[in-house]
Amino acid sequence: MIQSAAHPTGAHAAITSNLFGLFLWVTGFFFLLVLVFLGWAIWRKDRGAVRDRALRLTVTSWIGMITLGLFGLTIASYFADRSLAFAGAGKTPLRMRVTAHQWWWEVEYLDRDQSKAVTTANEIRLPLGRPVQILLASDDVIHSLWIPNLAGKQDLIPGRSTDLQLLPRQVGHFRAQCAEFCGLQHAHMALDVIVESPDQFATWWAKSIQPAPAPATPEQKRGFDLVMTRQCAGCHAINGTPAYGTVGPDLSRVAHRATLAAGEMPNSRAWLERWVRDPQSAKPGNQMPKIPMKPDELHAVSAYLETLQ
């Protein structure tokens, strides 16, 4: 799992990475020139009469060189910007909406057919090779979605709509993170980005629009009842159940996700129980209240949640 602009796996990040290479060479060249001139000025032996005429000629050519260098880099930047804008042109993009909340990500896969729309959280699954258009919104303060392996960042601003274009070129599991300071738990606002083959993605989507499986064992059944009757259902939604809260992340396939609490902890039974038992000690300041539960109730709840694959 990586989160790095140095390992581009998307068309946009690749364009930017190439541009960075060019900038590095050109600016490196100028830096070297300055160092050489400075070194010469320091260690020059023969200090005869002042030769300002020669210096005046040199300063003129120096201005010319800088102008040329900056001009070249500016043009290169404009062309790169243009390539970024057209990187995914020609194919129908996958349309999504990401809404940022303090401190988690709501992820929706849009479809003309409303019944095929999928809502999930803190995880973006993408099919390889298909352009993606993500509409960005914020529910509270300004956030910024940064998936460095795939593309540059884009802010999510309340009252404004922005969007982010992606074109994944490699399968893999990447990490992304909020890049704009958004309050107390800004450091713990990450998400998983999983690029998979179109077939795997289609399978995932198909399963995601199905209702959640009914609880099978008595313990799972008890957990289901607890989730529906305690405060959980007031904030969270689970497909095909009476839980349809929208305040917190959708839990329809929570057990399928790689991490919990916006990338903060691995998704395992132990971590899940720790999270549900006391969300405030795991991630202080987040919106999830502590709901008192006996140990056996906690086990039942996590047993049920684990079925939400």
Options 124-132, 175-183, 219-227, 267-275: segment touching another protein (CB under 8 A): 175-183
The interface with another protein within residues 191-220 (CB under 8 A) comprises: none
Options 15-23, 108-116, 165-173, 212-220: segment touching another protein (CB under 8 A): 15-23
**Interface mask toward another protein for 248-287; x: CB under 8 A:** ------------------------------------xx--
CB 40 → another protein: shortest distance, Å?
A: 7
Cβ contact 185:140 at 8 Å = no
Choosing from 57, 89, 187, 202, the residue that interacts with another protein (CB under 8 A) is 187
User: Is there binding between residue 222 and another protein (CB under 8 A)?
Assistant: no
Report how far residue 141's alpha carbon sits from residue 138's, in angstroms, rounded to the nearest whole number: 7
Cβ contact 106:99 at 8 Å = yes
Q: Which is nearer to another protein, 28 or 218 (CB)?
A: 28
Q: Which of 215, 200, 180, 193 has its CA nearest to residue 149?
A: 193
The interface with another protein within residues 22-81 (CB under 8 A) comprises: 23, 27-28, 30-31, 34-35, 37-38, 40-42, 44, 47, 50-52, 55-56, 58-59, 62-63, 66-67, 70, 73-74, 76-78, 80-81
Q: Which is nearer to another protein, 12 or 222 (CB)?
A: 12
Q: Which is nearer to another protein, 144 or 220 (CB)?
A: 144
CB 118 → another protein: shortest distance, Å?
A: 25
Choosing from 155, 219, 225, 306, the residue that interacts with another protein (CB under 8 A) is 155
Beta-strand (E) ranges in the chain?
A: 94-101, 104-109, 118-121, 123-127, 132-138, 143-146, 154-156, 162-166, 172-178, 190-196, 259-260, 265-266
Q: What are phi and psi of 32, to 5 degrees?
A: -60, -45
What would the 3-class secondary structure string for 111-158 be?
A: CCCHHHCEEEECEEEEECCCCEEEEEEECCCCEEEECCCCCCCEEECC
CA 141, distance to chain mean position in Å, is: 17
Report how far residue 277's alpha carbon sits from residue 295's, in angstroms, rounded to the nearest whole number: 9
CA 262, distance to chain mean position in Å, is: 10
Quickly list H helices, 145-197: none
Q: Which is nearer to another protein, 213 or 266 (CB)?
A: 266
Choosing from 9, 120, 144, 208, the residue that interacts with another protein (CB under 8 A) is 144
